[in-house]
Amino acid sequence: MAETDRQKKKIGFPMVAHYNCVVQYFVEQGLGQEYILQPQMTRRTMELGAKLAPDMVCTPFKTTLGSMIEALEAGADTLIMSFGLCRLGYYGELAEQILREQGYEFDYVNLAEYTTGKYRDYFKALRRVCPKLNAVRAGKVGLDALKMVEYIDEIEDLYHQNCGFALDHKACRAAYLRFFADMKRAKSRQDIDAGYQKAREALETLPLNKPAHPLRVALIGEYFTVMDEFSNLDLEETIADMGVELHRWMNLSHRNLHYPGEKNLNASIRDLCTYEMGPTSTANIWYARTCAEAGYDGIIHVKSAGCTPEIDIMPVLQRVGQQYKVPTLYLTYDSQTATAGLQTRLEAFYDMIDMRRKVRA
């Protein structure tokens, strides 16, 4: 790239689950700008956000705001914020207003401003981030980045379905973490593929002590909280480590890259819901029904406090639970949620589904 380091923008993006390495790869390789990766989210992130954010807003806004501040502290001078179909669509503007009132100075690209009904208008946002955009290169790198998303989701699934049964739990975890370190360092498609192959091999060859029919739990819920391990307080790891095969459909590849479309998902749940009830509702109901039919031992529904679309599908999930006799645990996360209470509830849930299994057998 012709731009020197001095001219490069330092781009920050709020933390979203494990996907920040994808943003980093795209920004650095595709747009030729610098990406500032803020530290992993901690309680401080939440406190920073909760202090400035309105009280009743859903929890992801608070963490997003906190991680934007941490990105600015880490040296970012340009922030990018996503658009969204629920309240997420208004996150960008309110966050900017709050940050500017606090006196932060930064360039801001709010994708929600580019919503016109045509997808190609989002390219205008790309041009603003990078005026000398090389469209061919950005497109090529973009495809690689999407591949990275798929790999991340695959490795996550693999890990959470097996980590509870690994004989050497530490090695399992290490392979998982090494994969993300590799993704963060990746400079080319070869690096991505190599990192993925290595992680897949490591996870698949680990000796497992897995019964033929392990307890299976499906994880559904709100887009952000269900994917982000800080926001759901390591829910997946905790429940998987109890010796459960954990299945989560909701991730970027399924919901965004390979989404079968609302109509096609809705076709098999027409008796439960006639219309789309929210941005991720159809998928969640469909997955709950699918897992219930497949005889899963339990369903865990995760959402942040006040997430309206997810609250609205709870009656449907309750009905699925009653019809198929699947125990369903509803978890709501707010900025106060602590691990101890969660641990107790998860243990009780595990004991219950374990006992049910034994009684049935």
Partner 1 sequence: MADRRFPASDRNLKKATIGIPRALLYNRSRILWSTFFHELELKTIFSSPTNRQTQEKGSERAIDEMCLSVKIYLGHVQELIGKCDYILVPRIVSYGIRRTMCTTFEALPDIVRNIFWQESPHILTYNVDLEHSLPEEQALTRMGISLGFLPGQARRAAKRALAAQKKADERQAKETEQLYKESGLRVAVAAHSYVLEDDYIGKPVADYLKKMGVTVIRADQVDRKAALDISAKVSPTLKWELSREIVGSLWMHRSRLDGIILMSVYPCALDSMVNDMIVRKFEGSGIPILQLTMDAQSGTAGVETRLESFIDIIRMRETAQREQERQREQKKQDERDQKEQDKLAARQRKELERQEKDERKQAQRRRKDEEKREKEQAKRAARERKAGERAARGKKETPQGSGEEAH
Dihedral in degrees, nearest 10, Cα atoms 99, 104, 105, 110: -20
CA 43 distance to own-chain centroid: 18
C-alpha span between 200 and 78 (Å, rounded): 35
Bridge partners of 218? 247, 299
| 241 φ/ψ angles, rounded to the nearest 5 degrees | -65, -15
Q: How far apart are CA 352 and CA 361, in angstroms?
A: 14
Contacts to partner 1 from residues 252-271, by CB under 8 A: 270
Instruction: Considering the complex, state which of residue 229 and residue 276 has its C-beta at the smaller distance from partner 1.
Output: 276
- Residue 274 per-residue DSSP state: S
Binding mask 26-65 for partner 1 (x = CB under 8 A): ----------------------------xxxxx--x----
Stretch that binds partner 1, among 141-149, 157-165, 249-257, 272-280 (CB under 8 A): 272-280
Q: Which two tokens stand for residue 51?
A: 């202090």
Q: How far apart are CA 297 and CA 217, in angstroms?
A: 6
Does 281 contact partner 1 by CB under 8 A? yes
Give the total residue count for the chain: 361
Shortest reach from residue 317's CB to partner 1, in Å: 9
Using CA atoms, how far residue 32 sits from 76, 187, 238, in Å, is 15, 12, 39
Note whether 197 binds partner 1 by CB under 8 A.
Answer: no
Return the residues of window 64-103 that contact partner 1 according to CB under 8 A: 86-87, 89-90, 92-94, 97-98, 101
In whole angstroms, what is the distance from residue 181 CA to residue 270 CA? 43
> Residue 44 in 3-state DSSP?
helix
112 touching partner 1, by CB under 8 A: yes
Exactly one of 4, 205, 209, 274 binds partner 1 (CB under 8 A); that residue is 274
* Residue 117 binds partner 1 (CB under 8 A): yes
**Max Cα–Cα distance, the chain, nearest Å:** 68
- Beta-sheet strand order (sheet of 10-12): 34-35, 10-12, 78-81, 107-110
Total number of residues binding partner 1 (CB under 8 A)? 45
- Cα separation values, 244 from 68, 215, 216, 278, 298, Å: 35, 5, 6, 29, 10
Beta partners for residue 248, in sequence order: 219
Site for partner 1 contains 105 (CB under 8 A): no
The distance of closest approach from Cβ of residue 51 to partner 1 in the complex, given in angstroms and rounded to an integer, is 13
In the complex with partner 1, which residue's Cβ is closer, 117 or 131? 117
- Binder to partner 1 among 33, 110, 251, 328 (CB under 8 A)? 110
Nearer to partner 1, 58 or 252 (CB): 58
Helix (H) or strand (E) holding 81: strand 78-81
Among 3, 73, 113, 157, which residue sits at the site for partner 1 (rule: CB under 8 A)?
A: 113
The stretch near partner 1 (CB under 8 A) out of 63-71, 175-183, 220-228, 277-285 is 277-285
Stretch 287-316 residues interacting with partner 1 (CB under 8 A): 305-306, 308-309, 311-316
- Using CB under 8 A, which of 30, 32, 278, 321 touches partner 1? 278
Q: Nearer to partner 1 by C-beta: 18 or 301?
A: 301
Residue 329 is classified by DSSP as E
Residues that bind partner 1 (CB under 8 A): 54-58, 61, 86-87, 89-90, 92-94, 97-98, 101, 110, 112-113, 115-117, 270, 272-279, 281, 305-306, 308-309, 311-316, 318-319, 332
